[in-house]
Chains A and B, each alone.
Chain A
């Protein structure tokens, strides 16, 4: 049994056959998880300083030196690192007075802060499986982003109070701008909206719940949706990046919707986090996090742990980040690794290195290494850097 770190669901039922230190056969791992490991095992990173291969300890010493001499260092990445590595990163940030932020989409922080502080009610995914009868996928497409979400928790499995599951007792609703793979499974309960129309959509739902005629969208369909939500016993909303980008600074509207829905029935929110330990980072930080765009412009050196910001971030931010010396801790080659001045290869979390991580709903899951590796884990590398600075 192994834990998959391909997405934030951290599936625990993976069966591996290891042959000659390599994975030869896997069961129960989805395509995304399988691809994640296949990609990580090819083109491993090598310890390098300015494009020249060096010993691992030299690279770590150089990294500490760069960070120590920097006036405004930035520590970013973290969403693909274990809780222990994140804690070590925060100690480094404290010691250096560095700013620390992750590379998740900027709007996610605001939602996570509301969920962690309890302003938006939340529950675990096991509660979803056992009790939920209405699942709303809002601006998210778990079939692609978290392939086993529907089959493990939100729609198909039989739970304590939901023995008849998807056949009779569960309703799955998709609210999206396009008919995604998840929306095809929801068939009649797919509600389409205009891009950026989430605010209006929430107002329409609020109107139908109050018994008024909604101003926006197809009135009949909105009333139909209002009726389903009103009749729900235990509803769960899974807001995705689509919704967060559309609402931006108007998350209070979503909060109002939740408050209104909770007057009628029990409604919870479980965020759809992409990386396996983004949730852990927010929980450890206890704050919405710095804006990466601003931090990247102000820094003069950056430590990147387990992510590829140059390939993923908007061009302006990536460009700002690319001008400073980068220190990258990553198991395999990426655009950021190619552009970095110091590269420190690490063991793959969940496969070569153990640790703990928080699932997207905040449940702590610990994992053990499956394959032996000579490389140190993120946590060990960061501890060495912390000693040296």
Chain B
């Protein structure tokens, strides 16, 4: 997963404030948090000397585009389908205490994570504790994954 520092190294580092943020580092963090877009850094787009950096930046940012609104990325090719995340997710347990709470697979549609066709899939992202302005940095699903198939941006 790309870090804010790696993104910063690919920015102009002039702190020109054209994006509306005070520093390039702040822009890098905003870019990672998907509050800003690459196109908002006008010098990077317009000036020819940054062409190579822009290309590299688009490359490293490409995997983040598949992330959900909460920044959740699932790599289905790595998933074991073990259901650790399904059972550990506090929202899942609250939605189905008699099933997810005791280790069984969910039956209803209210849960966030569910194993389908052998791999985990994500639904109802809005229910996730990482969603919205009052988000909590919950990591129950990533910490319990044996194969690092779930990541947060």
Binding site for B on A (CB under 8 A): 11, 13-15, 25-35, 129, 143-144, 147-148, 150-153, 155-159, 166, 181-182, 184-185
Contacts and interface: CB of A to CB of B under 8 A. Distances in A.
B86 A151 contact: yes
State the main secondary structure of chain B at its contact with A. Answer: loop
B132 interface: no
A34 B144 contact: no
B8 interface: no
A157 B117 CA distance: 22
B102 A25 contact: no
Interface residues of B, number: 27
Interface string B36-70: 00000000000000000000000000000000000
Contacts of A147: 80-83
A275 B91 CA distance: 34
Interface string B93-128: 100000101111111000000111111000000000
A143 B88 CA distance: 15
Contacts of A156: 84, 87-88, 103, 144
A127 B82 CA distance: 20
A25 B117 contact: yes
A33 B118 CA distance: 7
A277 to B, nearest CB: 22
B117 A34 contact: yes
Given A147-B82, A148-B83, A27 B105 contact: yes
B107 A151 contact: no
B116 A25 contact: yes
Contact of A34 (B81, B99, B106): B81
A141 to B, nearest CB: 9
21 contacts: A11-B105, A13-B104, A13-B105, A15-B105, A27-B105, A27-B115, A27-B116, A28-B114, A30-B81, A30-B83, A129-B103, A147-B80, A147-B82, A151-B82, A151-B83, A151-B87, A152-B83, A156-B103, A158-B93, A166-B88, A184-B146
A388 to B, nearest CB: 41
A284 B71 CA distance: 52
A158 B101 contact: yes
